[in-house]
Amino acid sequence: MASPWTNDPYAQAKLTKEQVELYLERIALPKDLVDSPPSLDLLTTLMVSHLEHVAKDTSPLHVPEEQWDGPSTPIKLSSAFTNMPESTGAFDRVVRQRKGAFCFAINATFAALLRSFGFRVSELVGRAFKSLGNDPTVHEDGWRWGTLTHELLVADWEGAAGRWLVDGAWGPWSCSVPIKLESGAQTLGLNPYEAFEVRHEVLPLDAAAAQPIDSLAGWTLYRFIPPPDTPLSLPLTGSTTGHFSPQFHFHPLSIPTTDFQLYHHFSVSHELASFTAFFLVTKLIPGTGGARRSLMYADKPGEGRRAKVYTTGGTEGRGSLQGRDVEWVEMETGPMKEYLRQEFGFGFT
């Protein structure tokens, strides 16, 4: 049996030119982009197109591939623990099968794409905020942090004027454009009703909570949430109406492959792992200024077994957090397979 340990734990995966061309076709970009030099414009183009075509997708955790074939059967949450592809092993699923995966597969594969253009990419792990959308300074949840269950990327290139936080797999609430890794750096999203800020700080905790003995300053990504119908302009200041809500906190410490395998294993199998508790497929809708279509289901007593599909954000949303264009899909492999094929472009054999 081959040893799982390697003497080269920080090896940087890259795609071949043929794979890059397939990836570009997958995200609706021209193949002749393959010879483009790295730049902020290219990084932004790749990131936005990736988010518009590659879904964050937890379905492999709940449906073994063979269950999609044959007669329609009920989808049971957390019934296919070992089915989620790992790292760049997701290339075929993401590119050739036109499906999605979760962050430990999508961001690893996206990082390999970026390196093929000459970007230098560090793969990191972050701690997710568990009360998304809320202001932790006033909400009863306070600074409620989860475990290290999110892979994210930091990219730069020769001659770059800094480093950039890049994320191809956060899902709802995400920053859909690169943001400079500089404390206080701000950016608008893909429409004027969403904005983001990066802060260099120790992990924020409630004052009454136990504090760590040792702590190093890391980075927190915040989303700014204004009232509906309130377009934003930069810079955001203390007088800007709205509030900041954290998304995740991380340290710029490159994570070796084997450690990512441990994070992946926890996220697909442990009873405390949030991914096993819900069925989610979500991606941006091209040409809408960042509107997002999401399919979501979680078991709730007394409620039917139907997944809710809805649209949020984008220019049309004007900052509203409410879902629109609501549809429902039965949690059965037959109707779900057809919906994912028609509405999310999934390929099924």
pLDDT of residue 294: 97
Q: Which residues pair with 101 in a beta bridge?
A: 56
Residue 105: in which H helix or E strand, if any?
Answer: helix 103-116
Share of the chain above pLDDT 70, in %: 97
Q: What is the bridge-based pairing of β-strands 324-330 and 306-312?
A: antiparallel
Q: What is the bridge-based pairing of β-strands 292-297 and 279-284?
A: antiparallel
Burial (CB count within 10 angstroms: exposed 0-12, middle 13-18, buried 19+), residue 283: buried
pLDDT of residue 3: 62
Distance, CA of 11 to CA of 257 (rounded, Å): 8
Burial (CB count within 10 angstroms: exposed 0-12, middle 13-18, buried 19+), residue 330: middle
Please compute the mean of the pLDDT values over residues 9-26 and round it to a whole number: 94
From the list 255, 12, 10, 21, the residue with the least C-alpha distance to 115 is: 12
Name, in order, each residue with C-beta under 8 angstroms of 189's C-beta and a sequence gap of 6 or more.
175, 176, 177, 195, 196, 290
Work out the mean pLDDT of the chain and round it to a whole number.
93
pLDDT of residue 81: 66
Q: What tokens does 132 get? A: 């998304």
pLDDT of residue 275: 82
User: pLDDT (tens digit, 9 = 90+) per residue, 310-335?
Assistant: 999 999 999 998 999 999 999 999 99
User: pLDDT (tens digit, 9 = 90+) per residue, 109-159?
Assistant: 999 999 999 999 999 999 999 999 999 999 999 999 999 989 999 999 999
Distances from the Cα of 174 to the Cα of 92, 128, 168, 249, angstroms: 25, 12, 9, 14
Domain 17-344 has CATH 3.20.20.70: no
Q: Domain locations in the chain?
A: 17-344
pLDDT exceeds cutoff 80 at 252: yes
